[in-house]
Amino acid sequence: MKQFDVPINYRSPLITAVKQYRKQQDKLKKDGTPTLLDLGNMHIYLARHFGFCYGVENAIEIAFKTIENNPGKRIFLLSEMIHNPQVNADLVSMGVQFLQDTYGKQVISFDEITANDIVVIPAFGTTLAIEKLLAEKGIQTSNYNTTCPFVEKVWNRSEQIAEKGYSIVIHGKPQHEETRATFSHASACTPTIVVNDMAETIELAKFITGQRNASDFEEAFKGRYSEGFDINKHLIKFGVVNQTTQLATDTQAISDYLKSVMINKYQLTSETLDQHFADTRDTLCYATNDNQTAVTSMLDTPADLAIVIGGYNSSNTSHLVELCEAKLPTYFIDNPNKIISAQEIITCNWRTKEISTITNFLPINATPIKILITSGASCPDAVVEAVIKKLASVVGSDFHAFLQDHPF
């Protein structure tokens, strides 16, 4: 896989050594067990896979090279390039300006940018409407487009099944940048609708089967479907694609559920299934899948708590928190400063985004304290190492001695 030129301050000598060691020992990625970092009175179990993915490193490389190669030029990002506060803050400190916030609200008017400016497309991609607007302004974006190739894979899959007459159901968070971009590209090809979760999928199925009246559809899925979408026509033949950072198990469950609905409604067999339901292979990106699978394996390790590190508006990170939280006490932090002491930690609720301070988060009688750690696909490894250092500091572990003695 391609090696990217990422700022050294995002790298971690420790984490790089751990990942290289695991790769050498397990080249086929068959061993999902976590890596033990034995710090004496504290055992850290690092997930087998975590941190920067291909798409994120590609985006960071393009963004920083763009800044380096264009001194004196105004450089704008459509929105957060990736969902990591440190990376976005670094870009802002170098003069980059954001045109929109995470939810598409305009921060700087498009009227203020000109053909002389540079606009960087974030890793989530963007809508066809914005692509057209920029092109009409004479702004060339092809060299500054950081859209993740795995997001583009979903767009391509959508176009392929659209050409065969299928409508599209997108499993994604409706307000997320990636979902908005995927909806734009898919709906340009075929009737498209977005479902957020299984509950919405079940409601959609009721319209498919006639359990709910078609007249209720507009209100039930307001803002979630393409112009001219007809519930009586456009869900006779469809396929399911997803926002790449969703939980793989959720997307599979939604796809399987809708497939069963179509099989029952049309009395389909394996030979006739494709008459009403597209065979869309899982569109989840490899990194999301690896990270989620690694967390599932990590959770088999007996531990006192889990810490998940990443941006609070990061979809893939939130799902890692969701997985851990189902098994043991879990704390969602975006930097080491959220660990106040051995007694206090500031954590984020992945559902509500509410920030709260938790006391006595570390067990006082455990010897050693056992902590599971992972991070999202947009979290620098340097932040993970900094969190481990902070934990070592508050529990009195000798981190420097560990570095000298570790086998990596």
The residues, ordered by sequence, that sit 6+ positions from 389 with a Cβ below 8 Å of its Cβ are 336, 399
Q: Strand 192-195 to strand 167-171: parallel, antiparallel, or no bridges (unpaired)?
A: parallel
**What is the identity of the amino acid at 390?**
K
Q: Show the tokens assigned to 180.
A: 């908005």
Nearest-10 crossing angle of helices 248-266, 198-209: 10
Distance of CA 279 to the CA centre of its chain: 24
178 classed as catalytic: yes
Nearest-10 crossing angle of helices 286-298, 248-266: 110
217: left (phi over 0), alpha (psi -120 to 50) or beta: alpha
Q: How many CA atoms lie within 13 A of 52 on its CB side?
A: 24
Distance of CA 38 to the CA centre of its chain: 30
Report the alpha-carbon distance of residue 63 to residue 185 in Å, rounded: 24
Q: Strand 330-333 to strand 344-348: parallel, antiparallel, or no bridges (unpaired)?
A: unpaired
Structural contact between residues 378 and 392, judged by C-beta atoms closer than 8 angstroms: no
List the catalytic residue out of 57, 177, 178, 200: 178
Of the candidates 57, 60, 53, the residue with the CA atom closest to the CA atom of residue 91: 60
The residues, ordered by sequence, that sit 6+ positions from 273 with a Cβ below 8 Å of its Cβ are 259, 262, 263, 279
- Nearest-5° Cα angle at 17, 13 to 20: 140
My answer on whether omega of the bond before 363 falls inside 30° of 0, hence cis, is: no
Helix (H, G, I), strand (E, B) or coil at 123: coil
Helix (H, G, I), strand (E, B) or coil at 35: strand
Q: Show the tokens assigned to 224.
A: 């979630």
Burial code of 269-307, b = ≥16 C-beta within 10 A, e = fewer? eeeeeeebbbebeebbbebbebbbbbbbbbbeeebbbbb
Catalytic (active-site) positions: 178
